[in-house]
Amino acid sequence: MDMFFAYMFVASATPLFLWLEHRKIAISSIPFILIMWLLAIAFLFEGFLFHITESTFVVAVLVNVVIAHIAAFILYASPLLMSKTKQLTGTSE
């Protein structure tokens, strides 16, 4: 369970990294993060809020981890690949 919460914190920080360059992606990831945290709270306090299965919580965390990895690719790998492609083709801006 500790790993889920570690991934949840990383996924929750994703919009912060995307905010300056990719605001639309950052804003679109916020609802998924809210759903993930609401499912986590519902899972922890199962009897109080509503009945939720562990698999629903795991799926929500995995969706947000995938979104965080896509964001990391957009931020870090995509510019590097674009510069390598420009070097290979000999074009410059």
Q: What is the pLDDT along the chain (93 residues), one digit of tens a residue?
A: 677 778 788 878 878 887 888 788 888 888 888 888 887 787 777 655 456 667 777 787 888 888 888 888 888 888 888 887 777 777 655
C-alpha distances in Å from residue 60, one per residue of 30, 36, 46: 13, 5, 16
**Cα gap 63→71, rounded to integer Å:** 12
Closest of 39, 31, 37 to residue 57, by C-alpha: 39
Domain of residue 33: give its range. Answer: 2-89
**Nearest-10 crossing angle of helices 2-12, 54-72:** 40
pTM of the model: 0.62
Q: How many domains does the chain have?
A: 1
